[in-house]
Structure 1
Amino acid sequence: MSRTAAILLAAGTGSRMQGTVDDKVLAPLAGRPVFAHSAVAFMASGIADFYVVVYRDQRQMTELAAYAPTPSALVAGGRERQDSVMNALSSLPGDIDYVFIHDCARPLIRPEQLVALHKIVRRENAVVLAHRVTDTIKEHTIMSRGKAGDSSRLRTLDRAKLWAMETPQVFSRELIVRAYAKVVSLGRRITDDAAAVELLREPVALLENPYPNPKLTTPADLAYLEFLLSR
């Protein structure tokens, strides 16, 4: 029988919070720390047999441990997000077949979405929670720079083909380990896990999210998240 692990990333520095909170994943949100919302959703879904909680420092580790799902391992994060993911992957038990990777700064994940992702990954090997882009997106290219200003060019991208990536992102263990090995061999810097799989030219399925799932990035996001949770 296949077994699944969930990597819960909590080691980010939160520099764009401008010092309004000591630690954004431990900031209070609707009566519990931001991190706890993700932990509770995962436990309610029942999809994971094992958890890896990635922490930033010893002080944070102690506080996260109080809310960590069980059974779990607490693993130190790295300098970049991809380093944290690789640390977590290397700590997984040998019998894990599928891996969820979730940024705990996204506290609005729902248990039913986790169950749906779990079903898809066993068929597709890679699936990402995502939403369609509704804004008009333009590519901006600087052609030349001069005293009178920059000469630049805009190109409108086809909005129908654009999706914004969220987390969780879910993979077969064999695929995501191989993908991160490719990242290392190429010396690439990536910002999400699907980008690693793209380097292998492997397909990644999308699960459209009809609900808001914003990432806590700036101080204003806390009030927005509180509003969404109140609904």
Structure 2
Amino acid sequence: MRYAVIPAAGRGKRFGAKKQFVEVNGKSIIEFTLRPFQESSLIDKIIVVAPEEFIPEMETRVEKFPKVESVIPGGCERQESVFNGLKCIQNRCSEVIVHDGVRPLIARKMINDLISAYQEYGVEGVITAVKPKDTIKVVGAPLEGSDFLVKETLNREKLVLVQTPQLFNFEVLLECHKKAAEEGFWGTDDASLLERYGYTVVAIKGNYRNIKITTPEDLEIFKVFLTQFEK
């Protein structure tokens, strides 16, 4: 059984609203996100993780997606929300895809590519990523305002910008989440937990349009990309 766990429990502090419920062209962001998973023959079931007080609203939003098995409460941090989703499907899942609820421009081809790479490489995790286009520098202590002292420039050829979806062996990801919770370790994504505990992760080509909506500017970019995505 292959599940998709969709963490959508963010509070929208930087955005100024619950991003997952913002509507564009009559559909909420979470509906755009769920559609490819619903339509993919490679996904069996979906778990959506939502803010506890907004579970009724989320349940209303996902009624049109029969693969959504349940909507469950999230935690204060994304990592807790994913962990909640994993615990919900113990003993029923062999592979799990984790995808941000506010990355609404995922295509079914990316799901296919992720699963193909997982089967081909035989590793514990496969993630999507793109090469950075900008020069990336390490900065030191902050100066006035938002200014920083520059310390060094990193080699872009050895860097990638990580996205979701990410696919994992279910038991491995659950084990890593349990260890991280016991140690009080917070990773920046689920793959970072596998890296910490010695498992192998492969990165495949993502898509520059697979943006995560974090700020109001991202929403405007999404609207532009959406006109091309739907053609």
- Given the two structures, how large is their TM-score scaled by the length of structure 2? 0.88
1:102 positional shift? 0.7
Which residue matches 1:124?
123
Structure 2 counterparts to residues 10-49 of structure 1, below 5 A: 10-19=8-17, 23-49=18-44
Change (3 A) 1:71 1:28: closer
- Given the two structures, how large is their TM-score scaled by the length of structure 1? 0.88
Structure 2 counterparts to residues 47-86 of structure 1, below 5 A: 47-56=42-51, 57=53, 58-86=55-83
Q: Which runs of 5+ in 1 are unaligned?
A: none
Count of residues paired in the alignment: 222
Q: Secondary structure at the match of 2:37?
A: helix
Q: 2:112 aligns with which of 109, 115, 118?
A: 115
Q: In the alignment, is the contact (CA less than 8 A) between 1:39 and 1:67 conserved in 2?
A: no
Which residue matches 2:216?
219
Which residue matches 1:193?
190
Q: Deviations over 1:113-151 (max 9, x none)?
A: 1011112223322011111111110111239x8x9xx99
Q: Secondary structure at the match of 2:219?
A: helix
1:176 positional shift? 0.4
CA distance in 1, matches of 2:62, 2:133: 39
Letter in 2 for 1:157: L
CA distance in 2, matches of 1:64, 1:130: 29
Q: Deviations over 1:74-117 (max 9, x none)?
A: 11101111111111100005131000001110000000110111
Q: In the alignment, is the contact (CA less than 8 A) between 2:38 and 2:65 conserved in 1?
A: no
1:224 positional shift? 1.1
Q: In the alignment, is the contact (CA less than 8 A) between 2:137 and 2:150 conserved in 1?
A: no
Q: In the alignment, is the contact (CA less than 8 A) between 1:108 and 1:214 conserved in 2?
A: yes
Identity of aligned pairs, percent? 30
CA distance in 2, matches of 1:133, 1:207: 14
Q: In the alignment, is the contact (CA less than 8 A) between 1:30 and 1:226 conserved in 2?
A: no
Q: Which runs of 5+ in 2 are unaligned?
A: none
Change (3 A) 1:71 1:103: closer
1:69 positional shift? 4.1
Q: Secondary structure at the match of 2:140?
A: strand
Q: 2:168 aligns with which of 142, 159, 171?
A: 171
1:153 positional shift? 4.7
CA distance in 2, matches of 1:163, 1:55: 29
Q: Which has the larger radius of gyration?
A: 1
Change (3 A) 1:35 1:151: closer
CA distance in 1, matches of 2:59, 2:33: 17
Q: In the alignment, is the contact (CA less than 8 A) between 1:52 and 1:72 conserved in 2?
A: yes
1:68 positional shift? 4.0
Which residue matches 1:9?
7
Change (3 A) 1:16 1:69: farther
Deviates more, 1:23-32 or 1:156-165: 23-32
